[in-house]
Structure 1
Amino acid sequence: MAAAGQASTLGAAEPHALLDQAKNLISQLYNPSGAAPEHLKLVQERLQELQRLPQGWQLAQGLLDDPDSNTRFFGALTFTVKINQSWVDLSDESVAQLKEHLVRRFVALVDAQEKYHVIRKLAAAMVALLFRDESWTHPIQDLGAAFRNGAISQQSHTDFENTTLPSLNEAQITGLLCFSTTAAEEATKASNLVCRFSGDHPVAESLQDGLCLCNYVLRVLLQQISAGTDIADANAGHDALQSCRAWLNVRSSIHFSNLPKQQHLSSTTDLLVQCISVKKLSKTATESVAEMLRTENRLLTDAHHEYILGYLKSEAASELVQRLKEGDYDDDPMAFWDLLDSYTAPRNVKLISGALGPSHAQVLSYLDVLFHGPGYPGVDDKLSSDLLDWWTAAADDLQDGVDEGLQEARQNLANAVLNVYNRLKWPSPDESADWDADDRSEFHIFRRDTQDFLLSAFPTLGIELIDLFRQKAVTALNANDWTDLETACFCLAQLSETVDGDEEAVTHLDAIFSSEKFAVVCLNSDQLPNKTRQTLVDMLGKYQMFFEQNTNLLPHVLTFLFSALNISSCTNTASRSIGFLSKSCRKALVTEIPVFLKIFTEFQQSSAATTQSLERVVEGIAAVVQALPSEEAKAPYLDELLKPFFVQTASARDDAQRGDIESAHTRGHLALRCIAGIGRGLRTDQDGIIDLESEETASDDNTFWEAHDIQAQLCQCLMVYLDGFPLDHTIVEGVCEVLKAGFTEATGPFVLKPTNIALYLTSIPLGTAGAADITMSTASSFLASYQVTPMKIQEEAAVLFVHVYWAFSLMMQNAEHNDPEVSNSSIAFLARSLPKYHQVLFALTSAPPPPASHIAAALNGNSQTAPVLQTILNFVTNTLGSQEPLPLRSAAQFWSGVLNLPSSTDPLTNVSRAIHEYLPSLCHVLVTQLSGRCARSDIVHLAEVLKKIVFNFQGQARPHLTASLASVGRPNDQSLPAETLAKENERFLAMLVAARGGTSTTQEIVRSYWVKCRGAGFAYT
C-alpha cells in the first residue's frame, strides 16, 4: 500500500494494524529502492503521525521487539518521542512499568550483541525517562545490577564498584558505558534542567557513578598492561575515555547545588593522564587531557603536569612530531599537537624565555621543528596556521614583560619570525596550478594573519625586524631573487605604521629605496613577476611618510607605479598608491607633471584601466597640478587632464541619442567620476587651508577661472547630463560629486557661480530613482559653503526652495508621484537650511514664476498658483501626520527648527505669522498622532515638536491643544464619560506645562499618554 493511503484511518486502527503499517513504512524508509525524495518525506510524516497517536506506546513496544534492527531502532526512537510528548499521561505505576521494560530490553539487546546504533538510541530513550522520573536517582547502578541479576534490584546500590562491576562481561560493560555516556552528553545539552524535588539536575547523583564506572574500566586495562598482557581490543578503554570526557563536561557545564563528594574525581584524573602513554588509548586520552588542560586545569596537580611533560619528551612523542613534520595529519599526530598546544599555551612566555629550565628545551624545539613542514601553509602544511597563532599569542603576552630571560625570549621570537618568513614565500604558477579555491583561501589567510604576528613581535624586537627584512630585500635585489623580494616587501608593508618617524628605520628603508638596483628595477619593471610587482606597489603606497621626507626618490618610484597600472592584477593597488603619494608629496613632483600626463594618456587607452583606477590616478595628478604657483601655470595641464573626459561626455551624449542607454551610462559614469576626482585633487593642500569662516579672503577672486574656457567646458559638460540625458542615480551622483568638488574652495575651475549651481541642481528631477537624497544633500552642502555670507546667495536659496515647492505640488496633485524618498530628503533639506536661510524661505509668500519645462511636463499643465510658503508648510504638516517614519521624522525636525528660531516669537516677522497661522493644524496633527495613532518609535520625534509648542507658545497653543484633545477619540477609552476624559486631558496638558520644556520629562509624559490611548498591551519598555 502506498504511503499516502496508510494514515487515513489511523485513529480507528487496532494496535496490530498500526504496527503493520509502521513496519511497512519503516521498510520503505530504509529500503527506498529509487523512491523519490518527496515520497520518503511523506513516509517520514506518516511515521511521525503514528508516533503521536495514543497507541504509540504499544507501537513502540512492538517495534522494539521486531527481528529487524532498523525496526528496533525506530521502536527505541518512538519510546523517546512518547516520553517527551506524552509523559503527563503516565501514572506512577505506568512509569515504573515503563522503566522496568526499557531496562529489561536494554539488557537483553546488549546480551544479544545488538548493533550499536540501536543500543545508543534505546539508551537515549532511557535517558529521556531519567530526566522525567525524579525517583530514578542512580540509573547507572540500577542498570549494572540489571545486567548482573536480570532485573532492577532493590539492593542494587550495595557495592557497585567492588561487586556489581567485576561481575559483568565486556559486552555488558560496553553497554553500561554507552548508557552512561549518553546520559552525560544529553545532560550537557539540557544543562538548565532542574528536578522539582531535589532542586538539582537529574544526573547529579549519576556523576559519581559515571566516573566510578570509567575508573573501573581504565584501572583494569592499565593493570593488564602493567602485567604484560597484550590487549587485542581496546574498545572498552576508548569508550571509558569518551565517557570520562562526557562526565567532565557535565561537571564543568552544569551548576550543581548539592554536588556529592567526588572521591572518584582524582582517580579519574590520574587514570586519564596515565592513558596518554598507552599506545592503543593514546589518541582518545590525549584529546581528553588536552581539553582538561584548557578547561579544567585546576584538577591537574604538579605530578600530572610532570607526567604530561615526560610524555611530551618521550620517544613516542618525538615520532609523532616527525610524522607531523612530514605532513602526516592523521588523528594520532593531530591529537598530540592538541596536547602540546594546550600544555604550552598557558606558559608560553616562561617557555620561550627559558624560565622553565632545560627540562622544557625539547618541547620548545618542537615549536621550531614543526614550522618546517611540507609545501605551503594551509595547502600542504596544515599546522603552520596553528603555530602562527601560538607565536602570535606568545608575542602578545611577551609585551607585558618578563622578570628574566628577555634576551633568550627575543632570540626565540626572532627565530620564529624567520620560520614564518620562510613559510610566506609565494608559489610559482606551476606549484599553485592544482590549487583549488579553498587552498588559495587558506594560504591567503596565513599571509594575512602574519600581519598580526609581526605587529605583536615588533614591540619586543623593534627595529631589528626592519633590519632583518631590509637585509632580505637587499640580498634578493642583488640576486634577482624576485620571490624572496616579494616576501621581504610583504613583511615590510605590514610594519609600515610602526616605523613612521623612526630615524633608524628610515636608515634601513633608505638602504633599499636608494640602492642603484632598486632604481634599475623601477625603471625596468618588466622583469618582475606580477605578484612581486603587486606587493612592491602595495608597500610603496604604505610608506607615504618616508617618501615625503625623501622626495628625491619619488620620480622613479612613481614611474614604477605608473608602469604597474597596465598590469591588471596591479591596477587598483598602483592607482591607490599613486593617489596617496601624489597628494602627500605634491610640491616635490611638479616638475614631473608632463611625464605623468604622458603616462596617463597611455594608461587610459589600456584594457587594464577601470573607472576606479582612472579616478585615483587623475586625482593624484590634479593634486600635483594644484601645487603649481599660479593659476596660469595650472590651466594647460588641467585642460589636458580634463579633455579626455569631456570627449567621453560627448560620446555618452551620442550614445544616448542613438538609444544605446547602457553605453551612455557607462561612459557618463566614467567621465563624471574622473572629473570629480580631478576636482577633489585640486582642493587646497592641508598646509594652506582656506579659512571658510573668514569673510575676507585674500585669494577669493575667481575671475581668472570664470573667464577661462576650462570652466566654460565644465559647465557645458554638466549640461549634457542635465538636458535630455537619460538620468539614473549614478549619473546624478556623478554630477553632484563634480559640483561638491568646488564647495570647499575659494578659487579654481570647479568653483562655479552660485547661479549655475542652483540651475544644475534644479535641473535634476527629484523623482529620478535614487536622485533625491544625493541632490538635496548636495544642495545643503552648497548652502552650507556660504554659511558665513548667506546674503550672497539669497536668490539661489530661493530657487532651491521653489524647486522643492514644485516637487511637493506634484506629489499633492498626483498620488502616483508620492515618493517617501523625495519627501524625506526635501523636508530634511529645508530643516537644515533654517538656521541661515529661514528669512528667504518665509519671504516666499507669493506664487512662484512658471516652472521649468521638465516640471511643467510632469504637472500636465496643472501648475498651482498657491503661494510657495503655504504649499511647503501644508505639505510638511501633512507629512507630520503620516505613517512614513523617515519623512515624519524630518517633518518633526523641520517644525522643531521653525519653533526654535529666534524670530519665531516676534509678531512682526513672517516666521511668527506663519507659526500663528499653522498652530491650530499643527496641534491637531500632534494630538492625533500621539493619541495612539503613531508608531512607538515616532513618539520621541513628535514629542520634541510638542515640547517646543508648549514651552514657547503656551498661551496661544493651549486652546488649540484642548480642542484637539477633545475632538480626537481615544481607541482604548471610548467607554469613559466625557467629563472624565476632559479632566484627564486637562491633567495631561497641565503635566506638559509643568515639565517646562524638559526633554526626558516631556517624553515620559507623552509616552504614558500614548500607551493609555493605545492600550496596556503596548506598555513595554
Structure 2
Amino acid sequence: MEMSEGRSLASVINHVERLYSSRNPTEVNSLQIELQSLQKSEYGLELANVLMGQSSANCRFFGALTYGVAINIRRDNFSSGDVISLVNNIEGHIFRLISSEGLEGNMVVIRKLFSDLSLLFIFHSNTYPDPLKIFYDNLGVSDDAGSKEAWITLILIFASILVEDVSKQENTTTIHKVIYDNVFLKVNNIVTGLVDLNVPPKIHLLTLDCINSWVYYISVAEANSEVRYDCPKNIVNYLFDSLTLSGISDSSNESLELVNKTLLVFTEISDMNPRMLDRESKLRLHSSLLEPGHFGEEFMSKVVFSDLRLEYDDEVGNFVNLIIVFLQNDLLNLTKQILEQSSTYKIKVLLSLTNISGIPMIDETLSDQFLTFWEDFINTFIDDEESFRIVFESEPNKFSKFVNRRNEVVSEICGIYWNKIHLPPFDELEPVKVEFLQYRSGVADLFIAAYSLISLPLYERLTSKLIYDTYTLEENKNMSLDIESTLYLIYKITEDYTFYDPDNSPFGLYVGKIFESGILNSFGNLSTSDNTLKYFYFTFNNFLASVTFYLKGEHGKEFLGSILRLLIPMILGGSTSLALNVSKTMLKICQECSQNLIPFTADIEALLVETLKNPGVDALIRQRLFSSYTSIIQYLKNPVEIGKILFHMINEIYNSAAKVMSANTSNNEELEDYLISLISCVCQIARACEIPEEIDEFYTPEEQEVVDSYWKEDPSNVKDIILRIIRLFSIDFPPFVHNATSTEKCCNILKSGVREDINGPFKFPIEIIFDYLVSKVEVSDTGSIPPIYSLVETVIVTNYNKIEREVLQNLIDKVFTQNLEALKSDPYAIKSAVELFAVILERKPSLILGLPVFQSSILKFSLEGLSANENFIIKPVSRFWVAIISLKKGSEYDHTLIRDLFTTRGGGQQLCSNLVKSFILSARSNLDYYYPIFRNLLGKYPLESKTWFLQAFHDLHHEKLNEHLTSIIVNKIMITRGQRSAHDILKKIWLQLNGLIEFNSKNF
C-alpha cells in the first residue's frame, strides 16, 4: 500500500512503533506531526482500516484513533451508505479482535472503536439511529462474536461509552430524543434480563458502571432537552437488588465491590438527578439506609462498627456519603420531624456514625464527612425559623418541646465534635497537621452556626466548662486537653462575633470570669519548649487576641500586666513559629489597649533591646514589637516624653546598624536580611506614629498646639537621627546603594508624615525630602526609581499648593531628565515616571506645563509610552494623556498653552498618529486603556480631531485601507462625539485591521 508523497505502509507502521517507543521528545513531536497529517489526509479511513489489520497492538490503537480523526474531519461528506459501511467495518474489527485474542487483551482498542461508532451516531443519528440494536444484530450473525458473556460485556461497554461521548458534546434536542426512543429502551431491557441470568460478579459490576454513566447522561439530557427520564423502575430495582450483604460475617474477607458501586450509583442519582427516584423508591432507599432491620443496620453492624471498618474504608465512606447526600435533599423535613419516633432512631444513627471511634484524619474521616451536613442541619433551623413557628402556631407547648429537642440534638452534635478536636499526641499529629487543623476549623464553623441558633447559653456552657477544668487542672493534668479544646472554640466564636463590632460584644461578662479563674497562671506553668504544648499556646494566644475588647476596658486592664509577663518569655524562649504567633497577638493587644499599657513600657523596651542585639530573631517579630511599643507611647500625648523614647529607640537601631555595617563592607544574604529588618523597624515606628484617628478626636486644640510647636523645633533631635538612618541605609553604605528594598523602606519612612495636619516626628519640610531625593538619585540605578517617584507623587498629592515650580523643576531635572536614557530601559521606571507626571497634571498642571523639560522630554517620553507592550505601562500613559487633554484643574493659561500645542504646533496630529498606530498594534487585552484617550480627544477637539484621525489612518499605509474606507472609519468615530459608543467602533476597527473579522464597510 502506498500513501501520499511516496510513504509506504511499512514506513507508516515503523513511524507508529517509534511514536510509542521513543523517549526523544523532538522525535516524538516530529512523528506526531507527520502521522497527524496522514490521519487528516484523504487516506485517513484507508489507513485506519489497514492499521487495524496489523498484529501490533500499537498499530491497532493508532488505527482506532485514526478512525476518530477521519470521521471528525469528513463527517459532513458521508452519505448514508458511507456511514453504514463504516459501521460494518468498525464492528468487524471488534469481532475479529475478540475472536483472535479475546476481550481482555484488546479492551483499550475496543473501547476506542466504540468511541468511533459513537461519533458516527452523534453526527449521523438519522442514518444510524439505533447503535445498540445494530451491534446486537451483527453479533448474532458474526462467527467471531465469542461467548454470551462477551456479548453482554460488549453491549454494556458500548452503552456506557455512547452516552459518555454524547455527554461531552453540545448536541441538539434531536439526539437526546433518539437516545430515549431507541437506546435507553435496550439498556433498560438488558438490566431487566440480568436479574434472572446467572452471570458472574464482573458483569454486575460492569452493569453498575453502565448505569452510572447513564445517570450522568440523563442529567445532561434533561438539562438540554425536553426529554424526561421519569423513574426507570427496572434500573432502580436492579440497584436495590445489589444492596445485599448475603453471607458476610465479622471475619469474612468477601469483597464488597458490588455494594460499593451500588452505593456510588445511588449517590450519583441523589446528587445529580433525584427525579430518577419516585416517591416509592425514595421511601424504599430511606428504609434501606436508615430503618431497623434493613441493609443500613446490617452494614453498620457487620462493617462500620466492626473490625472490618478499616479494611472496607472506601465502602464505609461511600455508605456515609450516600446517607448525607440523600438526607440533604430533604433537610427541612428531617428538622421538622425531630419530635417523631422515626426521627429519633434516624438521628441516633447519624450521631453514632459521627461519633465513630478514632482520632479524626488519623483513624477516621466519617466525622469530617458529617461536618458540612450538621452545619446545614443547624442552619436549616436558623433559616427556616419562621416556617417552624407557623407549623406549631396552634400548639405552643409542642413548639416548646420542639425547641428543647432541637437544642438537645445540637448539644449532642457539639459534644461529639468538642471531644473530636482534642489534640492527639504530637508525633501522631505532625504527619497530618494540615488536615487536622483544617478539620478543627470546620468544627469551629459548626460551633459558630450553633451559637447563631442557641446564642449565649452555648457560650456560657463553654466558659463554665473551661473555668471548672481550670480549677481542677492542678489535681488532674489530663484536663489540659479539655481546656485547650474548649478555649479554641471560645476563641473562634468570639473572634467571629466581635470582628465587625467589638465594642458591643455580649461576651464581656464570661471573658472576665475566664480570667478570674486563674487561667493565666495555669498557662504560665506550662513549658514553652515542649512540642506537645505548642498548640496549647497557639490557642491561648489567639484567644487573647480575640478578647482585646475586654482587655481595653475597665475590668480587663488589670490582667494586662500578667499577660505581658506571660507573652514576653514566649518571644525570647519559644520556637520561631510560636514567637511569630505571640508577636502578632502582642501587636493587636498593644494597638487596642495602648492607653492601659503605658505602665508597662519598660518591659517592652527591654524586649526591644534584646531583639535588636540578636540577629537571629525573625524580622517580622522585631517589626511587630517596635510597632507595638510605638502604639503605646503615642498615647502618652506628651511630646517631650515621646521624643526622648523615639530618639532612644531609633538611635539604638542606628547604632546596631552602623556597628554591623562598619564590620562588613560587602553584602551577604544573612546580613542583608538583618539590616532590612532594622530599617523595617523604623518603618513600623513611623506608621505607628501616625495619628491613629481624626486629629480633633485624638488631641484637644491645646494639645495640638503643644505637639505642633514641639516637633517644629524638635529639641530631642529625633528628625535628625531619622534622616541620618535614612542616609545610612540608602546612600552611605555602599552595598545598599542599589538595594531597591532598602530605598523603598527609606522612602516609606519619609512618606509616613507627609499627610499629617500638624508637625510630628516623621513630618519633614518638602525641601528636605526633595534634597534627599536629589542626593539619592545621584547614586541610584533604575531599580530605585519607582519608590523615589512614588514618594514625590505622595508629596504632590498632599502638598501641591505649597510646592514652588522652581523647586519641582530642579527635582525633575535631577530625577528624570538626567536619567532619561536609563529610565527608558526599565519598564517599571517608565511606569513610575508617567504616573508621577499624570498626578501632577491632575492636581496642579501649572506646576509642570511651563517647564522647558515638559515639551522637550516629558511629552516625547509619554508619546513613546503609547506603544508599550506592558499593560502596567499603558495604563498610566493613558491616564497621562487624558489628564493633559482634559486639564480639569488647569487655569485659563494652562488650557491656552495646551490648545496652542495641539492645534498650532502639531501636537494634536502627533498624538493622534502615535495613538492610532499603537492602538492597532496593541494586544486585544490592552484596548480598554486606549479608549479614554480617543474619547477625550473627540470631546475636547471635535473639529480638529477629524483631520488628525484622517491623517493618522492614512499614515498607517495599511493594505486594507484606501481613501474611501478611511473616510468611512473616521466618520464613524466622529459620530460618537466621544461617547461610550466609540468603544464598539474602535474595537471593530481593531478586529478588521488585524484580520480577525472580514474587512467590510458594512460591518459598521
TM bracket (short chain): 0.7 to 0.9
Q: Which amino acid aligns with 1:575?
A: S
Aligned to 2:232: 265
Aligned to 1:345: 328
Assess, with a 3 A threshold, how the Cα gap between structure 1 residues 457 and 1017 changes in structure 2: closer, same or farther.
farther
Aligned to 2:361: 378
Q: Do residues 487 (structure 1) and 501 (structure 2) align?
A: no
Deviation at 1:119, TM superposition (A): 4.5
Aligned to 2:762: 750
Assess, with a 3 A threshold, how the Cα gap between structure 1 residues 10 and 670 changes in structure 2: closer, same or farther.
same
Q: Which is further off, 60-69 or 116-125?
A: 60-69
CA distance in 1, matches of 2:384, 2:266: 30
Deviation at 1:122, TM superposition (A): 4.2
Q: Do residues 136 (structure 1) and 128 (structure 2) align?
A: yes
What fraction of aligned residue pairs are identical, expressed as a percent?
17
Aligned to 1:575: 583
CA distance in 2, matches of 1:484, 1:320: 33
Q: Which amino acid aligns with 2:219?
A: S
Aligned to 1:861: none
Provide Cα deviations, 1:639-688, integer angstroms capped at 9, x if missing partner.
332233112331354256x2336566434312211011112222224375
Q: Do residues 249 (structure 1) and 210 (structure 2) align?
A: no
**Please, what is the CA RMSD of the aligned residues?**
4.4
Matches within 5 A, 1:817-832: 818-832=825-839
What's the secondary structure of 1:136's corresponding residue? coil
Equivalent position to 1:321, from 300, 313, 325: 300
Q: Which amino acid aligns with 1:599?
A: L
- Is the CA contact 1:193–1:201 (under 8 Å) kept in the aligned structure 2? no
Equivalent position to 2:405, from 404, 408, 414: 408
Aligned to 2:662: 654
Larger radius of gyration: 1
Aligned to 2:912: 927
Matches within 5 A, 1:453-602: 453-477=446-470, 478-479=472-473, 480=477, 481-495=479-493, 496-499=495-498, 500-501=502-503, 505-519=507-521, 521-522=523-524, 526=528, 529-549=533-553, 550-566=556-572, 567=574, 568-602=576-610
Deviation at 1:611, TM superposition (A): 1.5
Deviation at 1:736, TM superposition (A): 1.4
- Is the CA contact 2:520–2:563 (under 8 Å) kept in the aligned structure 1? no
Provide Cα deviations, 1:868-915, integer angstroms capped at 9, x if missing partner.
454455445644665466555545534544555578563xx4664465
Aligned to 2:103: 115
CA distance in 2, matches of 1:892, 1:543: 48
Provide Cα deviations, 1:115-152, integer angstroms capped at 9, x if missing partner.
23155444334334433443222222233333444499
CA distance in 1, matches of 2:49, 2:951: 71
Matches within 5 A, 1:587-986: 587-606=595-614, 609-651=617-659, 653-654=661-662, 658-660=665-667, 662=669, 665-686=672-693, 688-689=695-696, 698-699=705-706, 700-703=708-711, 706-725=714-733, 726-745=737-756, 746-765=758-777, 768-786=781-799, 790-791=801-802, 794-795=803-804, 798-810=806-818, 814=821, 818-834=825-841, 837-842=844-849, 844=851, 867-871=852-856, 874-875=859-860, 878-879=863-864, 882-883=867-868, 889-894=875-880, 896-898=882-884, 900-901=886-887, 904=890, 906=892, 909=893, 912-913=896-897, 915-917=899-901, 919=903, 920-934=905-919, 935=922, 936-947=927-938, 949-950=940-941, 958=944, 962=947, 965-966=950-951, 969-971=954-956
TM-score, length-normalised on structure 2?
A: 0.82
Q: Which amino acid aligns with 2:908?
A: C
Provide Cα deviations, 1:833-877, integer angstroms capped at 9, x if missing partner.
346544444565xxxxxxxxxxxxxxxxxxxxxx44544554456
- Is the CA contact 2:846–2:891 (under 8 Å) kept in the aligned structure 1? no
Aligned to 1:96: 84
Q: Do residues 208 (structure 1) and 184 (structure 2) align?
A: yes
Matches within 5 A, 1:425-440: 425-432=422-429, 435=431, 439-440=432-433
- Is the CA contact 2:39–2:69 (under 8 Å) kept in the aligned structure 1? yes
What's the secondary structure of 1:786's corresponding residue? helix
Deviation at 1:772, TM superposition (A): 2.7
- Is the CA contact 1:923–1:964 (under 8 Å) kept in the aligned structure 2? no
CA distance in 2, matches of 1:382, 1:70: 43
- Is the CA contact 1:722–1:760 (under 8 Å) kept in the aligned structure 2? no
Q: Which amino acid aligns with 1:184?
A: V
- Is the CA contact 1:140–1:209 (under 8 Å) kept in the aligned structure 2? no
Deviation at 1:597, TM superposition (A): 1.0
CA distance in 1, matches of 2:585, 2:721: 30
- Is the CA contact 1:455–1:494 (under 8 Å) kept in the aligned structure 2? yes
Question: How many residues of Structure 1 are paired with residues of Structure 2 in the alignment?
Answer: 938
Q: Which amino acid aligns with 1:233?
A: P
Q: Which amino acid aligns with 1:283?
A: N
Provide Cα deviations, 1:408-444, integer angstroms capped at 9, x if missing partner.
22222222222222222222223246x2xxx333223
TM-score, length-normalised on structure 1?
A: 0.81
CA distance in 1, matches of 2:44, 2:876: 62
Deviation at 1:588, TM superposition (A): 0.9
What's the secondary structure of 2:329's corresponding residue? helix
Assess, with a 3 A threshold, how the Cα gap between structure 1 residues 59 and 604 changes in structure 2: closer, same or farther.
same
Gaps of 5+ in 2: 247-255, 389-398
Provide Cα deviations, 1:74-129, integer angstroms capped at 9, x if missing partner.
66555555544555676644543443344455456657782231554443343344
Q: Do residues 235 (structure 1) and 242 (structure 2) align?
A: no
Q: Which is further off, 452-461 or 398-407?
A: 398-407
Equivalent position to 1:282, from 259, 282, 288: 259
CA distance in 2, matches of 1:417, 1:168: 58
CA distance in 2, matches of 1:87, 1:961: 51
Matches within 5 A, 1:141-220: 141-150=133-142, 169-190=148-169, 192-194=170-172, 203-220=179-196
Deviation at 1:763, TM superposition (A): 2.7
Provide Cα deviations, 1:201-254, integer angstroms capped at 9, x if missing partner.
763443333433333234315xxxxxxxxx683333332232222223222212
Provide Cα deviations, 1:692-712, integer angstroms capped at 9, x if missing partner.
9x9996343244652323322
CA distance in 1, matches of 2:635, 2:815: 43
Q: Which is further off, 702-711 or 536-545?
A: 702-711
CA distance in 1, matches of 2:972, 2:74: 54
Aligned to 1:863: none
Assess, with a 3 A threshold, how the Cα gap between structure 1 residues 675 and 690 changes in structure 2: closer, same or farther.
farther
Assess, with a 3 A threshold, how the Cα gap between structure 1 residues 130 and 821 changes in structure 2: closer, same or farther.
closer
CA distance in 2, matches of 1:43, 1:984: 50
